[in-house]
Amino acid sequence: MAMTESPLDTSNIDQEQLLASAEKGTSLWADAWVRLRKNRLALVGLAILVFLTVVSILTPWIAPYGYEVQDLALGASAPSREHWFGTDIFGRDLLTRVMYGGRMSLAVGFVATGVALVIGVLWGTVAGYAGGRVDAVMMRIVDILYALPFMIFIILLMVVFGRNILLLFLAIGAVEWLTMARIVRSQVQSLRKQEFIEAAYSLGLSRWRIIHRHLIPNTLGPVIVYTTLTIPSVMLLEAFLSFLGLGVQPPASSWGLLINNGVETMEEYPWLLIFPGLALSITLFSLNFLGDGLRDALDPRASKD
């Protein structure tokens, strides 16, 4: 097959250069920032995310109403001058609830994904790099965790530890890292035999150094992409778990929960679905553009172009 031969055509100088740039970690990130700044969409995404984060942090001071203040007589009302996003069936201000919901969703999204990311990348890299028996054992553990009944696991967590926001992160992180580990492992496996890794090996670099200087940076592309996919699924999983009683307890809320409730009444009170839905979508689009921008900017090979 032609492509297995093709790497032979590349000169070793390329490999040396690559190795050198990857070694200089700081310049890699500095280069990336320079490249990221040229990507306008990624910057817009970043700006929106920063804005949303700031709003979330300031919410308790800038929210127009209290998130739990009810006006049962008012009930669900359409957007108006007093309530820009309208009110829910309890007469609570939806703008306020979307703002508070964002705090929850962003926190869960970033923290739980972060947990999944760290475990998944480490696990996948080690398994893929080590190969052989270690790989087999590690990946069979992943299989086992996939197979265990998630619902029972959640119910037990709730019973043993009670309601706790930390548990929510734990539960979500525990399931989301599995696919991440599989993806990273498959990526590492295909990288391991590539010339620049072998070159690094022959230069006498330690295993750990190879893993963390060369393998992990080179798997960043799919990892970033999968991360931008994990954040929305984590936010939606949070809605499901909160509904089951793990995590957010009413009257507090999150975007996932607001959307979940909005679906039920989308014909009667569409604004209860539209506004939280928009908030979630805008966040995810921003994340996505930023993720793509980062992916391109961090590509170790991009410097050659």
| Residue 236 in contact with other proteins, rule: CB under 8 A | yes
- Smallest gap, in angstroms, from Cβ of residue 91 to other proteins? 8
Q: Could you tell me how far CA 238 lies from the centroid of its own chain?
A: 13
| Residue 254 in contact with other proteins, rule: CB under 8 A | no
Select the residue interacting with other proteins from 3, 61, 81, 208 (CB under 8 A): 3
The alpha carbons of the chain give a radius of gyration, in whole angstroms, of: 23
What are the residues whose beta carbons fall under 8 Å from the beta carbon of 255, sequence distance 6 or more? 98, 101, 102, 104, 105, 235, 239, 276, 279, 280
Select the residue interacting with other proteins from 9, 13, 61, 204 (CB under 8 A): 9
Query: With contact defined as beta carbons under 8 Å apart, do 117 and 180 qualify?
Result: yes
| Residue 175 in contact with other proteins, rule: CB under 8 A | no
| Residue 183 in contact with other proteins, rule: CB under 8 A | yes
| Residue 264 in contact with other proteins, rule: CB under 8 A | yes
- Nearer to other proteins (CB atom), residue 25 or residue 245: 245
Instruction: Write out the binding residues for other proteins, residues 127-146 only, by CB under 8 A.
Output: 131-133, 135-136, 139-140, 143-144, 146
What does the alpha-carbon distance between residue 54 and residue 75 come to, in Å, rounded to a whole number? 30
Instruction: Write out the binding residues for other proteins, residues 195-234 only, by CB under 8 A.
Output: 221-222, 224-226, 228-229, 232-233
- Smallest gap, in angstroms, from Cβ of residue 168 to other proteins? 14
What does the alpha-carbon distance between residue 141 and residue 92 come to, in Å, rounded to a whole number? 46
| Residue 13 in contact with other proteins, rule: CB under 8 A | no
Type of residue at 78: A
What does the alpha-carbon distance between residue 7 and residue 20 come to, in Å, rounded to a whole number? 19
- Residue 199 has which token pair? 């070159």
| Residue 161 in contact with other proteins, rule: CB under 8 A | no
| Residue 16 in contact with other proteins, rule: CB under 8 A | no
Type of residue at 173: G
What are the residues whose beta carbons fall under 8 Å from the beta carbon of 6, sequence distance 6 or more? none
- Smallest gap, in angstroms, from Cβ of residue 255 to other proteins? 10
- Smallest gap, in angstroms, from Cβ of residue 58 to other proteins? 25
| Residue 305 in contact with other proteins, rule: CB under 8 A | yes
What is the x/- site pattern for other proteins, positions 70-99, by CB under 8 A?
A: x-xx-x-------------xxx--------
List phi, psi (to 5°) of 93.
Answer: -70, 125
Q: Classify the C-alpha dihedral 111-117-118-119 as positive or negative.
A: positive
| Residue 147 in contact with other proteins, rule: CB under 8 A | yes
| Residue 28 in contact with other proteins, rule: CB under 8 A | no
- Smallest gap, in angstroms, from Cβ of residue 102 to other proteins? 15
- Nearer to other proteins (CB atom), residue 58 or residue 143: 143
- CA distance to 132, 140, 288, 295, 301, per residue, from 126 (Å): 11, 14, 27, 22, 23
